Amino acid sequence: MDVLVIDVGGSHVKFVASGKRKRRKFDSTPDMTPQVLVARVLDAVRDWAFDVVSLGYPGVVGPHGPVQEPGNLGTGWVGFDFASAFGKPVRVVNDAVMQALGGYEGGRMLFLGLGTGLGSALVSDHVVVPMELGNLRHVDGELLGNRLGRRGLEAHGRKAWLDAVSDATCALRDALAADYVVLGGGNARRVTPLPDRTKLGPRDGAFIGGFRLWEETIEPHDRTPPLIWRVVR
């Protein structure tokens, strides 16, 4: 089964398909609607064959797709029928969920995405729990999404931002009883040194996670059905 993976961001839309070495991309715009996204992607992949689609969405996702419009794109995402538009089965997840799947190496893992805001997800035994930890408060009262995001880095400077990232990472890891933390997002590689039991996610973590959304793993017992990644909604 060939998978087309699409990572929708505020600056770029990036995508790759099974068996393709190079990813493709185009700029996203503040007025980009899902119809425009689908049309541009399909035009760009006319020479690619794929059976299913994984789509990482920059917002809250429910059982039937986005349940909240993105803050940095156009409107019309809630209720949009991606499967009909692509003509293929589509699995839509929050972009942090897709990155979390790409960095998972077993056990209980907490993913923190350090970008414009704070993306987050918890993964354990093929079950993925999307989280909105950016809505928690930092000790100074500021939302974690602002304090650990780009706004906090620019407002407080790198040293204070690093201290806040380290403190929050350790506190959230322990509160959620995670075995380890994976940091992703555009600012993850600014974090040095890394907090204890913390590692950087792979650079192509979102694409790896997109492929894993359709991955089946066969258990050792013949009568056990294949395990598939399950995203809690």
Whose tokens are 């692509």? That residue is 86
Res 230: pLDDT: 79
Report the mean per-residue pLDDT for the chain: 92
Contact 227, 217 (CB under 8 A): yes
Cβ–Cβ under 8 Å, residues 96 and 183: no
Specify whether the CB–CB gap between 150 and 80 falls below 8 A: no
Mean pLDDT value across residues 83-92: 97
Q: How far apart are CA 56 and CA 170, in angstroms?
A: 27
Structural domain spans, the chain: 3-97, 105-201
pTM value is: 0.89
Query: In this predicted model, what pLDDT tens digit does every residue of 30-84 receive, in sequence order?
Result: 999 999 999 999 999 999 999 999 999 999 999 899 999 998 899 999 999 999 9
Distance CA 108, CA 128 (A): 10
From residue 32, give the alpha-carbon distance in Å to each of 8, 10, 12.
11, 10, 11
**Selection from 103, 101, 5 nearest residue 48 by Cα:** 5
Q: What's the CATH code, domain 105-201? A: 3.30.420.40
Same topology between domain 3-97 and domain 105-201: yes
Is residue 67 within 8 Å of residue 90, measured between CB atoms? no
Residue 122: pLDDT band with limits 50, 70, 90: very high
Amino acid at 4: L
pLDDT recorded at residue 220: 42
CATH architecture of the domain 3-97 equals: 2-Layer Sandwich (3.30)
Angle at CA of residue 127, ends 76 and 10, nearest 5°: 30
Tokens coding 108: 């209980």
Helical residues (DSSP H) of 2-49, grouped into ranges: 34-44
CB of 160 closer than 8 Å to CB of 136: no
How do residues 158-215 score in pLDDT, each as one tens digit? Answer: 999 999 999 999 999 999 999 999 999 999 999 999 999 999 999 999 999 999 999 8
Tell me what the mean pLDDT of segment 1-12 comes to: 92
The percent of the chain in helix, strand and coil, each rounded to the nearest 5, is 30, 30, 40
